[in-house]
C-alpha cells in the first residue's frame, strides 16, 4: 500500500487542496467512492470511481483479461519498430499488454490485460505458477530423456527445478514447469542432444488454451493468483 493510492492523495492532486483540507473532505462524507460516501482515507484500486461535488475525479477502469493464441513467428513485443511484433496482429482497440512471454518460434497461450496492478504483482512475486507445454522434438523420446528432464538439467550455470513430464508419442511430450528461465525447454532439450521442432504453451496456472487456434482469443476471468509467468 502506498500513499499515492490513497483517497487523500487523489483529492490533493485533483482539487489542488492541502492534505489537511483533503482529510476534512473525507471525514465530512462528501466524497463518494463507487457511489458510497466514505469517511476514511481508503486505498483506491484501478476499478474505483471517485466523485466529489458531482464531479468525477477518477473514473473506474474496466479490467480486461484475454487468453490469446500467439502464432509462431510473432515477437512478444508491442514495439512496432520490431518486425513481426505482437501489436500489429492484435484486433483490440483497448491498449493491452502481454503478461509473461513466448519466444518468436514458440506458440500458444499468452495472457493480455490492461491490469497494471496484476502485471506489477506478477513481476514482483517470488511465487511461481505452473506453465504447461506440448513439445515436439526431432528424435525418439527414450526413458533417459524423460528422467533427465524430470530431475533437472544444468543450463546457463544453474540446475533447473524438478518438473512433471509425460510422453505423448515417440516424438512428443507434455511438460509442466514452475520455473521461467529464458528458453528453458529448448535449452534443456539441447543439452540432451534434442532439437525442439514445435513448442506450444497450453496452460498458465488456471488459464487454458482450450480449443483456440493461432490468432484467436477469448475473454477470461482474472487469474486467481498473481504469480510470476516467465518466458519460454
- The structural domains of the chain, with segments of one domain joined by +, span 3-58, 65-219
Backbone angles phi, psi at 62, to 5 degrees: -85, 115
C-alpha cell at 61: 477502469
205-212: average pLDDT: 91
List the one residue out of 150, 135, 131 whose CA is nearest residue 195. Answer: 135
Give the model's confidence band at 124: pLDDT under 50 very low, under 70 low, under 90 confident, else very high: low
List the one residue out of 119, 114, 109 whose CA is nearest residue 64. Answer: 114
**Could you read off the pLDDT of 26-47 as tens digits, one per residue?**
999 999 999 999 999 998 988 8
**Could you read off the pLDDT of 61-87 as tens digits, one per residue?**
888 899 999 999 999 999 999 999 999
Cα separation, 120 vs 34, in Å, equals: 24
CATH architecture of the region 65-219: 2-Layer Sandwich (3.30)
The enclosing H or E element of 189 equals helix 184-191
pLDDT number for residue 228: 40
pLDDT number for residue 227: 41
Cα separation, 156 vs 176, in Å, equals: 20
Question: Are 188 and 165 spatial neighbours (Cβ–Cβ below 8 Å)?
Answer: no
Assess whether the region 3-58 and the region 65-219 belong to the same CATH fold.
no
Does 3-58 carry CATH code 3.10.290.10? yes
Q: How many CA atoms lie within 13 A of 98 on its CB side?
A: 25
DSSP state of 3: G
Calculate ∠ Cα 158-161-162, nearest 5°. 140
User: Residue with C-alpha cell 492534505?
Assistant: 19
As annotated, the active-site residues are: 103
Q: Is 78 left (phi over 0), alpha (psi -120 to 50) or beta?
A: alpha
Is the whole-model pTM more than 0.95? no
* Range in 97-101, 118-122, 189-193, 195-199 the model is least confident about: 118-122
Query: What residue spans of 16-128 are helical by DSSP H?
Result: 19-28, 116-124
List the one residue out of 110, 102, 128, 117 whose CA is nearest residue 182. Answer: 102
Amino acid at each position: 500500500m502506498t500513499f499515492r493510492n490513497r483517497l487523500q492523495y487523489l483529492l490533493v492532486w485533483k482539487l489542488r487542496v492541502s492534505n489537511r483540507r483533503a482529510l476534512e473532505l473525507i471525514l465530512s462524507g462528501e466524497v463518494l467512492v463507487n457511489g458510497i460516501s466514505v469517511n476514511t482515507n481508503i486505498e483506491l484500486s484501478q476499478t474505483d470511481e471517485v466523485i466529489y461535488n458531482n464531479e468525477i475525479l477518477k473514473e473506474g477502469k474496466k479490467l480486461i483479461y484475454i487468453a490469446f493464441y500467439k502464432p509462431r513467428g510473432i515477437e512478444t513485443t508491442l514495439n512496432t519498430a520490431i518486425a513481426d511484433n505482437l501489436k500489429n496482429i492484435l484486433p483490440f482497440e483497448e491498449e493491452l499488454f502481454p503478461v509473461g512471454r513466448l519466444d518468436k518460434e514458440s506458440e500458444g497461450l499468452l495472457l493480455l490485460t490492461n491490469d497494471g496492478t496484476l502485471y506489477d504483482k506478477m513481476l514482483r512475486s517470488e511465487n511461481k505458477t505452473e506453465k504447461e507445454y506440448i513439445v515436439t522434438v526431432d528424435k525418439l523420446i527414450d526413458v533417459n530423456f524423460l528422467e533427465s528432464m524430470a530431475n533437472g538439467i544444468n543450463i546457463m550455470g544453474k540446475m533447473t527445478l524438478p518438473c512433471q513430464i509425460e510422453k505423448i508419442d515417440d516424438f512428443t511430450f507434455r511438460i509442466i514447469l514452475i520455473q521461467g528461465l529464458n528458453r528453458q525447454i529448448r535449452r534443456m532439450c539441447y543439452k540432451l542432444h534434442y532439437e525442439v521442432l514445435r513448442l506450444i504453451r497450453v496452460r498458465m496456472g488456471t488459464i487454458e488454451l482450450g480449443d483456440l487456434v493461432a490468432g484467436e482469443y477469448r475473454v477470461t476471468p482474472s487469474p486467481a493468483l498473481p504469480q510470476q509467468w516467465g518466458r519460454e
